[in-house]
Structure formats: structure tokens, C-alpha cells
Amino acid sequence: MQIVESITKSDDEEVSLAALYALQSIGDERALEATIGLYDRTENEKNRGKIIYVLGNYDSPKAVTKLIEIAQSDPDPGVQQKAVFALGNKRDEKAVEALKKIVQSKGNSEIRRRALYALGNTDMKDMVLFLGKLAREEDDESLAKAATHVLSNIKDNSATEELKTIIKSAKLADARQAAVHAISNRGDVGSLAVLRDVALNSKEPALSRSAVHAIANINDKQALEVLKEVVEAKVDPRTREVALYAIGNYGGELARDVLIKTASFHPDEKIAKAAVYSLGILMKKGEVELMYDVLKKTKFPEVKKAALYAIMAHGGKAGVEVIANILKTEQDVELRRAAVRSLANSESDDAVDILVDAINNDKNISVRKDGVIALGQIGTPRAQEALVKILENK
């Protein structure tokens, strides 16, 4: 066959490659031998990579054997990776075993990782057990994480159980973290117990927070109860804050009640403040009484301010009325200043009247000055007129 002879005899790699592409559709044994021979004498790694593409199209044990050899021993990592990819497309037990050996070797980390992802495309027996063991015991972070990622794509109970085991016992933190994320995407009530344990008892705050996010993805009242536990537990403060925001995103009356209670009475100021922010997620337009109630009950000035700004952000006209009442009744100067500043973004004429009253009657000079600044920020004709009158009175 003339094309085969061209491959066999030509010293010009580019000419040989052109002949190879023309030949690949024939696919007989002699053509395969010529392809293997061309690989063996080709020095340029880019051209060797092109030959692997052709080799991968042969449905032959001999082609698989050559691809295994290339994946294990080609001097160029890029060529090895191409061979690994080609092996992953083979429904061949020999290819699967070769990929497993590459993964289990102590060779190039990236090639091992590519081999692992290639295994994920095969019908390998005991895939779940293999991936779980690798994720738990591997010292290479990227490989342990990759094993967890591949496992996360297997949608059955055995994979879920293996992910739980990784969370509890993997050697590397990155693998545990990846397993929590994988569980999170499942939204599985059956995983709640292990996620609860991590959220409440892990010594790694980042892992605890990831577990809280995963719990938040479980659409069940049991998940909300666990989030409540986290808020009350003696865990990392940031983890408790994340749990509060998760409760706000959960929604519903039960979530609202938890947040109101936490914002009003929690002994930790940061936690109470986070509860106010989360409660703001649940507030409906014009619904200010619940936040005003929080403002009156909490003992923390910063929580009061947070509640005040939430009132103004969500309250509309009703919010302006609440701010007016605060300015008349509140003894705390800083809270009155915050109340005045919160009106600066309002375009309501009622807000202008309230500010003018504060400017004229508040006993504190800072409150009065803040009132003038707020009028300038409102910038409506009514506000400008009020500023002119203040100047004229002086």
C-alpha cells in the first residue's frame, strides 16, 4: 500500500503525519503497525501528541498496549497526558488497570490527576471504594481533592456514604473540605448528622462554615433546627454568623422567630448584629414594627444602629415615622445621630420635616449638624428651601 510505504520510509515527520491522517480511516493492522513505528521514530513532542490522537482511534489491544507504554514512559509530560486521556476513552480492562497504576504511582502529580479524571470516564469496578481510599489516604492535595470531585459525580448512596467517611477521616483538610462541598450539592437529609457533627465539633473553622453552608442547602425543618444549634453553640463566631445568614435565606415564620429572638436578646453583640442583618433579608416593604421591637429590646448600641438602618432601608413612609419617634424619645446621642443620618437617602418631604425639627430642637450639636448634612444629601427642592431658611434664621 503506497500510503503505508510513505509512512515507513519518509524521514520528514510532517509528510509522515499527513500520510497518517489520510490512512487512519482504513484502520487495519498494517496501518496500526505503521502508526506505532512513526511514534517510535518521531522526536518532536508535538508530532508525537498528534500521533496519539490517531492511536486512540484504533479499537485494538495492541493500540491500548502502546498507549499504556506512552502514558508511563514518554519523556514529555504533555504527551503522557494525551495518552492518559486516550486510555480514558477505552472500554478496556487493561486500560483501566494501567490508569489505576498511574494514579497510585509516585510520579508526576498532574499526570496522576489526569489519570484519575480519565478513570472517572470508565466503567471501573469498585470505583467508589478506590476513590474514597485515595481521597482519605493520599498525601498529594490536588489528587485527594480530585478523587473527591470524581466521587461527587457518582450519584448513588454508596458514593454519598463514602463522602461522609472522607469528611470524618481524610488525612488532608482540602479533601475534607471538598467532600463537604460535594455533600452540599446533594442536599441530602441523610447527611445531616455528619454535617451537624462537623459544624459543631470540627477544630477547623473553615470546615465548620462549609458544613453550615451544606446544611443550608438541605430543604428540611431538621436542617433549620441544626442551624439554630450552631447559633447557640460555643463555636467560632464567624461560623455562628454564617448560620444566622443561612437561617435568613431559609425563610418562613420559624426562621423569623429565631432571628428576632437572637437579635433582641443574644449576649454576643456581633451575633445579635448578624441576626439583624439576616432578619433584614426576611423583611417585607413597610414592615418595620418587628425591627423597631428589636431596637427597643437589645442592649447593644451597634445592634440598635443596625436595626435602625434596616428600618429605613425597608420601611418606606412607615420607616420615616419610626425614625421620627426615635429622635423624640431616644436618650442615646449616637443613636439619634444614626437616625438623622439614615434619613439622608430619603426623598420624602416627611423626612425633611423631621430633620428640620431635629435641627431646631435637639439638644446635641452633633445631631443638629448631622441633620443639616442630611438635608444637603437629600437635595430635593423642599430640602434646599429648608437649608436656606436655616441660613436666614442665623
pTM of the model: 0.71
Q: What are the pLDDT digits (tens) for 257-293?
A: 889 899 999 888 999 999 988 888 887 776 778 888 8
Q: Using CA atoms, how far apart are residues 135 and 171, in angstroms rounded to an integer?
A: 8
25 — pLDDT class (breaks 50, 70, 90) = low
CA 122 to chain centroid, in Å, comes to 28
Cα–Cα dist 78/96, whole Å: 20
d(CA 309, CA 302): 11
Nearest alpha carbon to residue 299 among 271, 264, 325: 264
Is the pLDDT at 158 greater than 60? The verdict is yes
Give the residue among 385, 364, 363 at the shortest CA–CA distance from 375: 385
pLDDT of residue 176: 92
Q: Residues 94-123: what's their mean pLDDT?
A: 90
**Domains with residue ranges and CATH for the chain:** 1-125 (1.25.10.10)
pLDDT for 13: 65
Tell which wins on pLDDT, 343 or 73: 73
Condensed to tens digits (0 to 9), the pLDDT of residues 111-125 reads: 999 999 998 888 777
Binned at pLDDT 50, 70 and 90, residue 7 comes out as very low
Q: What would the grid cell of residue 214 be? A: 451544606
136 pLDDT tier (thresholds 50, 70, 90): very high
Between CA 129 and CA 113 the distance in angstroms is 17
Three cell numbers, residue 63: 493500540
Provide the mean pLDDT of the chain.
Answer: 85
Our measurement of the distance from residue 12's CA atom to the centroid of its chain's CA atoms, rounded to an integer in Å, reads 51
Taking alpha carbons only, the member of 127, 3, 104, 100 closest to residue 54 is 3
- Is there a contact between 317 and 283 (Cβ–Cβ < 8 Å)? no
